[in-house]
Amino acid sequence: MIGDLWYKNAVIYNLSLATFMDANGDGIGDFQGLQRRLDYLHGLGITCLWLGPFQPSPMKDDGYDVADYYSVDPRYGTLGDFVEFTHGCKQRGIRVIIDLVINHTSDQHPWFQQARKDPASPFRDWYVWSDRKPENADQGMVFPGVQKTTWTHDREARAWYFHRFYKFQPDLNTANPRVQAELLKIMGFWIQLGVSGFRMDAVPFIIATKGADVTKPVEQFDMLRTFREFVQWRRGDALLLAEANILPEDDLEYFGHDGDRCHMMFNFQVNQHLFYALASGDGGPLIDAMLATKPRPHSGQWGSFLRNHDELDLGRLTEAQRQTVFDAFGPDKHMQLYDRGIRRRLAPMLHGDRRRLELAYSLMFTLPGTPVIRYGDEIGMGDDLSLPERNCARTPMQWSDEPQAGFTKSDRPIMPVISGGVFGYERVNAAMQRRDPESMLNWTERIIRMRKECPEIGWGDFRILKTGRREVLALRYDWRNNGVVVVHNLSDKPCEILLDVDGEGERSRLVNLLSEEHSLPDDKGRHPMVLEAYGYRWFRVGGLDYLMKRSEG
Ligand code: GLC
Ligand code: CA
């Protein structure tokens, strides 16, 4: 079983091909470039790559506007390069999951082109139309402030079409059985070419009812079961990782009460409250978020993350909490986006403070679930706020201090490389950090190794331990006769705690997993501990003979 649900103890790395590594010198990252960096990723210790969209696309939304589901954009290479790449990953024991963007297509997709030209076309009903402007056309925009409407008039079609996202992304009519059959075919195609599954884009919208008369969209959860069954028939260890920023009360609908829908979901609830905890030093709301998202089926797993390719969406916080995070991490208007979030990268948000970066990462790696890292965060890359919207956090990977950060031989990269200042490639790059044992890169490599040796976190049950302080978060995981305890001080001040590891009268010592500073219990079985500002600890309960004690089931 442990090997079968591989995603329970994986480390996922998210990258966008366009800005990772350019091998042919045209300024755009490509599969051959990525291929040559696989040993870097292997060395970092990640076990799964999540690749952003790479199919042919007008690239008006970073590839999330797909114009052909069965091919590779020629700027990135060929299908042949793709298969070489998945093979290269397989040789190194790295799995590949890819974005599956099926809520909408690009308006340049031949399906939409035919649908708009000819009302009699079989593709007409692949999209969502209305003869008149729907009353709710100015509601439900995903990108408020940039996107003005969810219905746009198409002259050629002489009708209005629905788009939950930008207007060049017409929504597919996912209720149409032919569309559903096509979606399965797309999944089957990429599985056949070597992927282990999909990061499913915009899941609540895919499964929602759509149409001019829909005032309150209703999710059709059965669709998720159909997807799940299909991928798992094609490949037993296939994974569906859902992007679904939903409320905890709906979690089980997405996982399936019997674990028969999505295997994994990003934990947006915990993500937002984690940033609140980092901003305020108060762990209370984060604990509430963890407890609210605790119920899940045995095979279900959370994806824990800090930042990704989108803005940090703070829409689920209270007004006051959101303001606290804005004040701490994105005080200027141009750092914020869509009235609800912050568009910056992690390192500049935390003012490049290494202690805070380690704290944030240590937390992410030890929250209940599987960690998902964003490329470049392992070296503490910055952002370029002069770029529009979310592009500020999508600049080329900083490989070295060579021209264009070693990303390309071209002097015209697809996105400008960050240069100069504290986050410029001259100072922040992988080559320099590789040589420095104390660098962020090497710290990340070590923490990944330790995280992989703690399957208790990915598999086990967690309990919140009492610390008597709102700024100190202590968790205990138990799994197969073994316990792991992690402690985080969110505050900028040192503090002293008395930790009760709560093991039913257990009086064992705590073995520190990251240093020689072990802890012995006092005569009441509690552990006195002094934590430095932003300090963190990872412990094993009991001795290092834990593997002898681990049970089989
Ligand atoms: C998801 C993606 C985002 C994209 C949107 C539309 O939210 O994460 O980058 O713009 O879907 O496909
Ligand atoms: Ca290229």
Ligand nearest to the CA of 16: 1
Does ligand 1 lie within 6 Å of residue 500's CB atom? Answer: no
User: What confidence score (pLDDT) does residue 524 get?
Assistant: 87
Q: Which atom of ligand 1 is nearest to the CA of 165?
A: 6
What is the average pLDDT across 388-407?
98
Task: Give the ligand at the shortest distance from the Cα of 28.
Answer: 2
What is the pLDDT at residue 347? 98
Residues bordering ligand 2, an ion, CB closer than 5 Å: 22, 24, 26, 28, 30
pLDDT band at 1 (very low <50, low <70, confident <90, very high): low
pLDDT band at 147 (very low <50, low <70, confident <90, very high): very high
Nearest-atom number in ligand 1 for the CA of 103 is 12
Confidence of residue 545 (pLDDT cuts 50, 70, 90): confident
β-bridge partners, 540: 484, 511
* 502 within ligand 1 shell (Cβ under 6 A): no
Label residue 504 by pLDDT band (50, 70, 90).
low
pLDDT at 260: 97
How confident is residue 184, by pLDDT bands cut at 50, 70 and 90? very high
State the closest ligand 1 atom to the C-alpha of 61, by its place in the atom list counted from 1.
10
pLDDT of residue 71: 98
pLDDT at 444 over 90: yes
By most ligand atoms within 8 Å of CB, the mutation choice from 57, 146, 201, 271 for ligand 1 is: 201
Give, for ligand 1, the residue of 205, 246, 310 to mutate: max count of ligand atoms closer than 8 Å to Cβ: 310
61 lines ligand 1 (CB under 6 A): yes
Q: Is the CB of 151 under 6 A from ligand 1?
A: no
- Mean pLDDT, residues 40-67: 98
The pLDDT of residue 2 is 54
Q: State if residue 310 touches ligand 1 by the CB under 6 angstroms criterion.
A: yes
DSSP secondary structure letter of residue 142: S
Q: Quick one: which ligand is closest to 77's CA?
A: 2
Q: Atom 2 of ligand 1 has which residue's CA nearest to it?
A: 201
Task: Report the pLDDT averaged over residues 121-144.
Answer: 96
Q: Would you state the pLDDT for residue 3? A: 60
Ligand 1 contact via 201 beta carbon (within 6 Å): yes
Instruction: For residue 481, give the 3-state DSSP assignment.
Output: coil
| pLDDT at residue 546 in the model | 82
The answer to whether the CB of 203 is under 6 A from ligand 1 is no
Q: In 3D, which of 370, 368, 354 has the Cα closest to residue 444?
A: 354
CB 537 within 8 A of CB 359: no
Rg of the chain over Cα atoms, rounded to whole angstroms, equals 24
pTM: 0.97
Whether 65 lines ligand 1, by a CB cut-off of 6 Å, is no
The residue-averaged pLDDT of 189-198 equals 98
- Over range 418-435, report the average pLDDT: 98
Least confident window among 137-146, 377-386, 530-539? 137-146
Report pLDDT for 548: 84
Nearest-atom number in ligand 1 for the CA of 104 is 12
Query: What pLDDT is recorded for position 302?
Result: 98
For residue 177, the SS3 value is helix
* Overall average pLDDT of the 194-208 stretch: 98
8 Å CB contact between 228 and 237:
no
Is residue 202 within 6 Å of ligand 1 at its C-beta? yes
- Give the Å distance between the CA of 201 and the centre of ligand 1: 6
Taking only the tens place, the pLDDT of each residue in 229-269 is: 999 999 999 999 999 999 999 999 999 999 999 999 999 99
Exposure b/e, 183-216, CB count within 10 A at least 16 = b:
beebbeebbebbbbbbbbbbbbbbbbebebeeee
- What is the average pLDDT across 462-472? 95
Q: How far is the CA of 140 from the centre of ligand 1 (A)?
A: 15
Q: Which two tokens stand for residue 43?
A: 């060395």
- What is the C-alpha to C-alpha distance for residues 300 and 303, in angstroms, rounded to an integer? 10
- Residues with catalytic roles: 201, 243
First and final CA of the chain: distance in angstroms? 9
Return the ∠ at Cα 515 (arms to 513 and 517), rounded to 5°: 100
**DSSP letters of 345-360?**
-HHHHTTT-HHHHHHH
For residues 514-543, average pLDDT: 94
CB 417 within 8 A of CB 425: yes
**Is the pLDDT at 505 greater than 70, yes or no?**
no
The CA 255 to ligand 1 mean position distance, Å, reads: 21
Residue 506: what pLDDT? 67
Average pLDDT for the chain: 96
**Number of other residues whose CB lies within 10 A of the CB of residue 132:** 11
543 pLDDT above the threshold of 90 = no
